Amino acid sequence: MLRLIVLLLFVLPFSSFAATVRVAVASNFAATLDKIGIEFERQTGHQIKSSSGASAKLAAQIRQGAPFDVFLSADEVQPAALLRDGIGVASSRFSYAIGQLVLWSKTRRDVGSAALQQGHFNKLAIANPDSAPYGRAAMQTLQSLQLQSKLQNKLLFGENISQTLQFAQLGGAEFAFVSIAQLREQAIQQYLWLVPEKLHQPIRQDALLIKDSVAARALIAFLRGETAHQLLLQAGYRLRACSRSSK
């Protein structure tokens, strides 16, 4: 019987053992995960079924029992909080990507810190800093530039970074703090300013295994591999963070 089982393992195609990994993914990373998912399925046979949103809201859903196997947050805060609550596999947590914040405009060629300081615009879109890490980094940038109080009345808050970009695309805001990966994924070619990393804390995007399974562990391992790393770099993420220096 044992020999028969071993023989079947070699004879049956790996797709016979394929499973679906349910992933809670931060909005900024959803499109990149789609590309990674294609290679992941090709190499392992496993498929990814994802739901995207703001990291804090996804973490709240996980606490409420949402059936996710893997959490791909846009920060390191939410996975750490889940672990403190006894949710997830501590040994699985790692920073799968470092996000890059940009200030983007559809129409303003003068996009940059000088335009923010001059304040000659109606609205600046920012993701909700209480639930979206890129929004938190945007607020830190305004604080570093000593502009938070000056621009407070001009801020337009999106529920997540996807909605924040939409505000600027549709004309609700002249400027928006978003992820460079979003712009590359949508082939947006308008005006942007890559925010110096010294102006905000590193945007460490952490992965966490929520429910242990062969397929879920395979995805965690795949995200650490060369194929995923190349796709991450192409999308505009980095793999290591720079230290934040003083102003």
Residues found in the chain: 247
Q: Measuring CA to CA, which residue among 162, 70, 88, 147 is closest to residue 112?
A: 147
Strands ordered across the beta sheet of 101-105: 155-158, 124-127, 175-179, 101-105, 191-194
42: tokens are 């090709």
d(C-alpha 145, C-alpha 60), whole Å: 32
pTM for the whole structure: 0.79
Determine the average pLDDT of the residues in 226-230. 96
d(C-alpha 77, C-alpha 98), whole Å: 14
Percent of the chain with pLDDT over 70: 90
d(C-alpha 247, C-alpha 144), whole Å: 7
Higher local confidence (pLDDT), 54 or 139? 139
- Asked if pLDDT for residue 97 goes beyond 60, the answer is yes
Confidence class for position 190, pLDDT limits 50, 70, 90: confident
Q: Which CB contacts under 8 angstroms, 24+ apart, belong to 224-231?
A: 224/94, 224/96, 227/36, 227/39, 227/43, 228/36, 228/39, 228/96, 231/32, 231/35, 231/36, 231/39
pLDDT in tens, 5-59: 444 444 445 444 689 999 999 988 999 999 999 999 999 999 999 999 889 999 9
Given this model, what pLDDT does residue 17 score?
67
pLDDT in tens, 121-136: 999 999 999 888 899 9
Task: Please give the DSSP secondary-structure letter assigned to residue 90.
Answer: G
All domains in the chain, ordered by first residue: 19-99+203-235 (3.40.190.10), 101-199 (3.40.190.10)
197: tokens are 């990393």
- E-only strand ranges, 94-181: 94-99, 101-105, 124-127, 155-158, 175-179
- 189: region left, alpha or beta (phi > 0 left; psi from -120 to 50 alpha): alpha
pLDDT in tens, 58-74: 999 999 999 999 999 99
Q: Measuring CA to CA, which residue among 128, 98, 93, 54 is closest to residue 205?
A: 98
